[in-house]
Structure 1
Amino acid sequence: MPHLSTISALSNRIGGGSGLLTAWVGMPDPVVAGHLALEDFDVVTLDMQHGANDISTVRQGILNVTLAGKPSLVRIPVNDFATASRVLDFGAAGVIAPMINSKADAEAFLSFMKFPPVGQRSWGPTIAVGLTGQTLDDYLSKGNAMSVAIAMIETREALAALDDILALDGIDAVFVGPSDLSIALSNGSNVNPSRADIVDALEHVRQRAHAHKKAACCFAPTPMMAKDLAKKGYDLMAIGTDFSQLRSGARAQIDVARGRS
């Protein structure tokens, strides 16, 4: 059964303060991604930067998530833009690229994300074409719009270059890493994504993204932060990680069993 509507759902829905929620999967087991896709997440993100996923677990994870009826994102390792093309070939709906600190970084990312004339993505989407049920010509004509390119904003340099990054044709969204940003803005003295200057930076990023008609995304360590960002008009938020959810779920059940709650 073709899954065009599943894979294109992210590009169709993100934006306009859509408040989408993504699971964040670092465990290198595609079963985890597939199970989280059965919950009320809008998207499932497979993490290759800080998570333990490799190209094999990501390939199967994308398939499991797609078969569960959800689109998938992949966060690639820093500067590993060739992997962006590969995961799109596997059927990912988009890619999150960390540490995009300049217009040049964003252009390099785009060159692997989009087909000409926007980028220079090489042709080879055999799995994605099979999943979507499209003809080769249809996939070529629609592939750029379907493939969501998300640049991470995590440093002083990225904040300074924000408008230049957002102005690029093909950059669909920016994604704030508030912990890294808090380290950068404190000159390495503090990690606190709830700090006042980070709250201000998050609002600045949202305003600039929406001014450019691009989506604003963020990693939210807690559901309370995700709820607050959604109220402020953010388009997509990650709620913690699979690791944190596994431990917090186990802790909650243990507390009940031991009479602590």
Structure 2
Amino acid sequence: MPFRVEPDPSLKDALKDAVRPLAGIWVCSASPLIAEICAGAGFDWVFIDAEHSPNDLQNILAQLQAVRSYPVVPVVRPAVNDPVVIKQFLDLGAQSLIIPMVNDAQQASAAVAACQYPPKGVRGVGSALARSARWNRIDGYLARADETITLMVQIEADEAVRNVQEIVETDGVDGIFIGPSDLAASMGVIGQQNHPDVVAAVITSINAAKAAGKYAGVNAFDQNSARKYMDAGADFVGVGADVALLARATEALAASFNSGEQAPAPKSY
């Protein structure tokens, strides 16, 4: 007799029960070993990125398997808001998705449709073949798949901030994740994530999400910014990345053994 299982908690489950903002770390190395190390570090969520990292389906599957035994929620970002790509990530067993570059309600609705089976959406049915349903070992998966998935869409352009109210009011969107780096670039201040106009846009987006009863997250590798956004109402914050931590730590170690002066480390990526 097959072993019956239940879906793991997704990000919205963790947020619903949270008593404080949740801190997460990016995993960009495409390494299951590094993902497991990060999963056991004490973070609330790990962000497996496939937009700016060399992650593919096989790497992401291995990382999802590597972190599963730890009390941490894996969150995956596809490279694009595309129904075929999203279908593949969901079938791998990714239950919490962050979709990049969502600039209006129409794009948000497309992301929702990609995560839902017909008749509500366009997700292809392959539960017997997929880890998402544990190869049909999760009872009634097709009927309740929607409730097992968390969908966050990214606000990372000036256009998205202008449309944020309509985006957060889109049925099926659980919340937003704000990317200050791309937001700064779109506002003409590239590399200045802490520019006052960028910070104001982040706060505006957080407020819109909270007013709509949705969750708000933001990326902030600078600790002062991370805490500022937590105080402003952010429910979850990406506070670092495996590759960035490795880069800064190795630079500091190397500098401690040479006579040259070390350039100040960047406060963010």
TM-score with structure 2 setting the length: 0.85
The corresponding residue for 1:226 is 226
CA–CA separation in structure 1 for the residues paired with 2:200 and 2:5: 39
Q: Deviations over 1:140-175 (max 9, x none)?
A: 333212211111111122112211111111101111
CA–CA separation in structure 1 for the residues paired with 2:126 and 2:200: 42
Moved more, 65-74 or 209-218: 65-74
In structure 2, give the amino acid aligned to 1:181: L
1:210 is the counterpart of 2:179: no
Structure scoring higher RCO (CA < 8 A, sep ≥ 6) equals 1
State the SS of the aligned residue for 2:9: helix
- Change in 2 beyond 3 A, CA 1:142/1:252: farther
- Change in 2 beyond 3 A, CA 1:223/1:141: farther
State the SS of the aligned residue for 2:134: helix
Larger radius of gyration: 2
The corresponding residue for 1:134 is 138
State the SS of the aligned residue for 1:239: strand
**Is this contact kept in 2: 1:150–1:171, CA < 8 A?**
yes
**Is this contact kept in 1: 2:96–2:151, CA < 8 A?**
yes
CA–CA separation in structure 2 for the residues paired with 1:158 and 1:88: 25
The corresponding residue for 2:62 is 60
CA–CA separation in structure 2 for the residues paired with 1:131 and 1:4: 12
Root-mean-square deviation over aligned CA pairs:
2.6
Deviation at 1:227, TM superposition (A): 2.0
Q: How does 1:95-244 map onto structure 2 within 5 Å?
A: 95-125=97-127, 126-130=130-134, 134-135=138-139, 137=140, 139-186=141-188, 189-244=189-244
The corresponding residue for 1:10 is 11
CA–CA separation in structure 2 for the residues paired with 1:10 and 1:36: 17
Moved more, 228-237 or 112-121: 112-121
CA–CA separation in structure 1 for the residues paired with 2:256 and 2:38: 23
In structure 1, give the amino acid aligned to 2:12: S
The corresponding residue for 1:45 is 47
In structure 2, give the amino acid aligned to 1:147: I
State the SS of the aligned residue for 1:95: strand
**Is this contact kept in 2: 1:2–1:131, CA < 8 A?**
no
In structure 1, give the amino acid aligned to 2:250: A
Identity of matched residues, %: 26
Q: How does 1:238-253 map onto structure 2 within 5 Å?
A: 238-253=238-253
Deviation at 1:78, TM superposition (A): 2.4
CA–CA separation in structure 1 for the residues paired with 2:246 and 2:145: 35
- Change in 2 beyond 3 A, CA 1:9/1:2: farther
TM-score with structure 1 setting the length: 0.88
Q: Deviations over 1:86-125 (max 9, x none)?
A: 2222221211111111111111111111234542222224
CA–CA separation in structure 1 for the residues paired with 2:205 and 2:105: 16
Deviation at 1:58, TM superposition (A): 0.7
**Is this contact kept in 2: 1:21–1:238, CA < 8 A?**
yes
- Change in 2 beyond 3 A, CA 1:89/1:41: same
CA–CA separation in structure 1 for the residues paired with 2:33 and 2:136: 22
Q: Which consecutive unaligned segments of at least 5 residues does structure 2 have?
A: 262-269
Q: Which consecutive unaligned segments of at least 5 residues does structure 1 have?
A: none
Larger helix fraction of residues: 1
**Is this contact kept in 1: 2:95–2:150, CA < 8 A?**
yes
- Change in 2 beyond 3 A, CA 1:163/1:99: same
CA–CA separation in structure 1 for the residues paired with 2:42 and 2:253: 20
CA–CA separation in structure 2 for the residues paired with 1:4 and 1:207: 34
Deviation at 1:223, TM superposition (A): 2.6
Deviation at 1:2, TM superposition (A): 7.5
Would you say how many aligned residue pairs link Structure 1 and Structure 2? Answer: 256
In structure 2, give the amino acid aligned to 1:127: R
